[in-house]
Amino acid sequence: MKSGKSDSKLENIRHSLAHLLAMAILEEDKDAKLAIGPTIENGFYYDFELSQAIGIEDLPKLEKKIKHYIKQNLEFKHLENADIKNQPYKDELIDELAKKGEKLSFFQSGDFIDLCEGGHVKSTNEIDAKAFKLTKIAGAYWKGDEKNKMLTRIYGVAFENKKELDEYLKMQEEAEKRDHRKLGKEMGLFTFSPLVGTGLPLFMPKGVVIRTELYNELLKISKKYDVQQVEVPHIAKKRLYDVSGHSEKFGEELLKVVGHYDEFVMKPVNCPHTTQIYAAEPRSYRDLPLRYVESTMMYRDEKPGELGGLTRVRAITVDDGHIFCTTDQIKNEVKNIASIIEEFYSGLGMYGEHSVALSVRDPNNFDKYIGEEKDWDKAEKMLKELSDDLNLKAKRVEGEAALYGPKLDYVFKDSLGREWQLATIQIDFSMPKRFELTYKNKDGKDETPAMIHRAILGSYERFMAILIEHFAGAFPLWLSPVQVKVLPIGEAHQKFGGEVFEKLKENDIRTEFDDSNETLGKKIRQGKMEKVPYMLVIGDKEVEERKVTIENRDKGNQGTLEIDELIVKLKNEITKKS
């Protein structure tokens, strides 16, 4: 069993708790077979093949056993040799290590011995028994391979003290309330159908409003920088991805389509198609830069166990952009993209609460990339200089580069403090060479253009999931599927209510008219449950004065306004995204 990524005190606590969990399982089920139990973000897990079923109701009992071990002040002793009996998964791992010529390592706590590299606490008195919790049970294939046996995975979280655990659990509770799958269903944004297939979301009218608003906003900002819209098919011959290098990268994730006359692949990415738009006619340095953008679906045959809500799907609508330019134009183009990212995320109130990573190649494994090392050296140097020029303070991260080049990855925080990698800027000298793209330089000679890949929000599906949870469904006015609800109190108020409703619609404000027989209180509660930003109450006084009383989703009663004044107010708020 391998430890986590670092040898910090907290990692050692989490790793030691994974061992204690295995001890507790063996005490309950002596015939259990142990697989692996690494640390993960915020905690640990252990995989078991159990001889008797276990449920979530059994976790408190296991926790009690672990706390008992902690009180015993057990030491974690390193052993170079040990005999682990009747544990086939461990035997398999030992055989694999032996074939690689690697040294075996074991750790003992009490009478329990496990195959393990470490690290651990010296003894269990370093673990706060009140600062961990077993959280859930799931299925997991041995070694992540669907052809292998399904095991039982038990997850736990652990921190250095109870205060940190309580804060984490409180955040998780809030995250559960904000779960985009729950809110998406309640708000009528999207759905899934077993007849359509797993990982293939269906967007309802209100969900499409959000997607469309995001698309329009992004296009509006991008057009300041002379982008041109293009559109590409959803399929292509596999040869296209052989040339680009993506066939090998995606392997079994490629979805194939067999027609009567040819075989195709559902596109896993857009960039190879876009190279062929560039290649469609001769290009000169005078034509460059060419800035193409598109938002079309692409497809990947993800494993069923990895799919979840909108965060991991098989049909992915990517906000994609590709710029073809000379090497001298790269810096200006990257600066333009950085400006688009800043403006777009400022409109969501997320800019500033972010970091940037300079994602470069793995220096010890260049075989997993395409292109020439000299081009990678140049691209990485340029992105470092650009990060400094733009004061992005990008942190260098090795091994996270794209297949074809290094990138600047923007990582944004949501309202719960969770980090999400969203926007990206990538310099690519490799793919244009593979597709033999050229332009005539000032001397009339052929040169290869550089290619910049950009995504501002990434996948619309994943981005919507993040936004739903970030705003807890209470979107800002410009993004809300329904911006205003008109609420006449009774039948006598419906005529004026109808006039207000029509005038709002005429001004492109997304409006609903609630003429139901429910009480006003219930209508307002319903509107707030649906996260509608503004509700307009119309009663006797409002009809007489030709005004509306404004009930704000977050701030309550906001007084009365004439409808024309209200429209000015709403349009101003939508434009400023305040």
Residue 25 and residue 147 in one domain: yes
Residue 557 and residue 465 in one domain: no
Q: What pLDDT is attached to residue 2?
A: 43
Mean predicted confidence (pLDDT) in 154-170:
95
Domain boundary pick from 448, 470, 492:
470
Beta-carbon contacts of 522 under 8 Å, excluding residues fewer than 6 positions away, are none
Task: Give the closest residue to 451 by CA, choosing from 314, 341, 342, 329.
Answer: 329
Instruction: Answer yes or no: is pLDDT of 329 > 80.
Output: yes
Task: Give the closest residue to 244 by CA, choosing from 374, 375, 432.
Answer: 432
Residue 79 and residue 101 in one domain: yes
Residue bearing tokens 């994974």: 18
- Residue 556 resides in a domain: yes
- Condensed to tens digits (0 to 9), the pLDDT of residues 364-411 reads 888 888 889 999 999 999 999 999 999 999 999 999 898 889 999 999
Instruction: Answer yes or no: is pLDDT of 195 > 80.
Output: yes
Query: Would strands 484-488 and 534-538 be described as parallel, antiparallel, or unpaired?
Result: parallel
Domain region containing 74: 9-177
Residue 433 and residue 554 in one domain: no
Angle between helices 563-576 and 494-506 (to 10 degrees): 40
Separation between Cα atoms, residue 435 and residue 370, nearest integer Å: 13
pLDDT above 90 covers what percent of the chain? 79
Separation between Cα atoms, residue 355 and residue 394, nearest integer Å: 7
- Residue 518 resides in a domain: yes
Mean predicted confidence (pLDDT) in 146-172:
94
Separation between Cα atoms, residue 359 and residue 99, nearest integer Å: 33
Categorize the per-residue pLDDT at 494 as very low, low, confident or very high, splitting at 50, 70 and 90.
very high
Asked if 34 contacts 70 with a C-beta cutoff of 8 angstroms, the reply is no
Categorize the per-residue pLDDT at 517 as very low, low, confident or very high, splitting at 50, 70 and 90.
confident
What string of DSSP letters covers 99-143? HHTPPP-EEEETTEEEE--B---SBGGGS-TTSEEEEEEEEEEGG
Q: What pLDDT is attached to residue 49?
A: 96
Separation between Cα atoms, residue 299 and residue 309, nearest integer Å: 16
Residue 364 and residue 506 in one domain: no
Residue 534 and residue 558 in one domain: yes
- Condensed to tens digits (0 to 9), the pLDDT of residues 75-130 reads 999 999 988 889 999 999 999 999 988 999 999 999 999 999 888 999 999 999 99
- Condensed to tens digits (0 to 9), the pLDDT of residues 420-447 reads 999 999 999 999 999 999 999 999 999 9
Q: What pLDDT is attached to residue 262?
A: 86
Using DSSP's 3-state secondary structure scheme, residue 164 falls into helix
Domain boundary pick from 450, 470, 490:
470
Q: What pLDDT is attached to residue 7?
A: 54
Residue 378 and residue 466 in one domain: yes
Categorize the per-residue pLDDT at 448 as very low, low, confident or very high, splitting at 50, 70 and 90.
very high
Mean predicted confidence (pLDDT) in 267-286:
95
Q: What pLDDT is attached to residue 118?
A: 85
Instruction: Answer yes or no: is pLDDT of 249 > 80.
Output: no
Residue 204 and residue 326 in one domain: yes
- Condensed to tens digits (0 to 9), the pLDDT of residues 197-247 reads 989 999 999 999 999 999 999 999 999 999 999 999 999 998 999 999 888
CATH number at residue 145: 3.30.980.10
Domain tally, the chain: 3
Instruction: Answer yes or no: is pLDDT of 4 > 50.
Output: no
Query: Would strands 354-360 and 395-398 be described as parallel, antiparallel, or unpaired?
Result: parallel
Q: What's the pTM?
A: 0.84
Residue 514 and residue 428 in one domain: no
As a whole number, the mean pLDDT across the chain is 92
Q: Sheet harboring 556-562: ordered strands across?
A: 511-513, 484-488, 534-538, 547-552, 556-562
The mean-pLDDT minimum among 66-70, 307-311, 550-554 falls in 307-311
- Residue 184 resides in a domain: no
pLDDT above 70 covers what percent of the chain? 98
Q: What pLDDT is attached to residue 5?
A: 42
What string of DSSP letters covers 499-539? HHHHHHHHTT--EEE---SS-HHHHHHHHHHTT-SEEEEE-
Residue 133 and residue 210 in one domain: no
